[in-house]
Amino acid sequence: MSEGTVILKLGGSVITFKDGFMEANPASLSRLASEIHEAGREKLVLVHGGGSFGHPLAFKYKLHEGFRDYGQLEGFSRVHLAMRKLNRIVVESILAQGLKAVGIQPSSCVITRSGRIERFETTPLEKMLELGITPVLYGDVVPDLERGFSILSGDQIASYLGIRLNAEWIILGTDVDGLYTGDPKRDPEAKLLEKVTLDGLKRIIDEIGESSTLDVTKGMYGKIMELIPAIEKGVKVLIVNAKERDRVLKALRSEKVRGTLILRS
């Protein structure tokens, strides 16, 4: 039986230095590329965030507000060019391992409506997977039918492709170990959740919603919210700390690894 498809999302904080300006983290990228190579998955789609390549520029041009004036279109160009630059660095890291990878530009093949994916041409990407190429997508500014343009996050892309490609796994490589019962940086009682069902997750999200102190955790649950549609369709989600050596490798190999596993039931 052929292996299932895996969508691996690498957070911007893992592959760039967040406090820099358009500064990639080559050591981290090289290690992760080597783990991806070692894992030897047949069908892998890589999606990455923007970190210090995307966020500062997107903020400068107020792209999250959608199209307000012509001047912002410069921002559309600039943010996209910055993300393309990061994408090239990621693709080159993968190629350096002898793997085959081709970047895929979301703003060429996706259109959103009020920030949600409305159309996504995935035929070229699927053909690449079939050939043995790892498509590498990224968070991008994309044309939007209502707002002119909007920021499409890597998380939304990962969730969408998880469903569309009927993926076995979505692996979220982040800079934390997984989901906690509280904010591990403030609360010494906070425990890592090793396994959560969709119902359990929804209960936790409700509780978080009522709290105003758990900012860090909230950010994390925000990412998870994006993945709920995929989890509902039966795609297994695993959150691991991609800054720690071999966590992504083990996740890709479906081996036991520290992290949070989220299942439909």
Q: How far is the CB of 62 from a copy of itself (least distance, A)?
A: 15
Of 99, 90, 165, 155, which is closest to residue 127 (Cα–Cα)?
165
For residue 47, count other CB atoms closer than 10 A to its CB: 28
Residue 70 binds a copy of itself, judged by CB under 8 A:
yes
Burial readout 19-29 (b: 16 or more C-beta within 10 A, e: otherwise): eeebebbeebb
- Dihedral angle sign, alpha carbons of residues 243, 246, 252, 255: negative
Nearer to a copy of itself, 20 or 132 (CB): 132
Strand spans (E) along 72-215: 101-103, 110-113, 116-120, 134-138, 140-144, 148-152, 169-174, 195-197
Find the binder of a copy of itself among 43, 48, 80, 236 (CB under 8 A): 80
* CB-based contact 76:60 (threshold 8 Å): no
Q: Which residues, 142 to 161, sit near a copy of itself by CB under 8 A? A: 142-145, 148-149
Does residue 141 contact residue 152 with C-beta atoms inside 8 Å? yes
Is residue 205 at the binding interface for a copy of itself, with CB under 8 A as the rule? no
Shortest separation between residue 3's beta carbon and a copy of itself, angstroms: 17
Query: Rule CB under 8 A: which of 83-122 touch a copy of itself?
Result: 84, 88, 91-92, 95, 100-111, 119, 121
Query: What's the closest the beta carbon of residue 81 comes to a copy of itself, in angstroms?
Result: 7
Contact residues: a copy of itself, CB under 8 A: 67, 70, 73-74, 76-77, 80-81, 84, 88, 91-92, 95, 100-111, 119, 121, 123-125, 127-128, 131-133, 142-145, 148-149
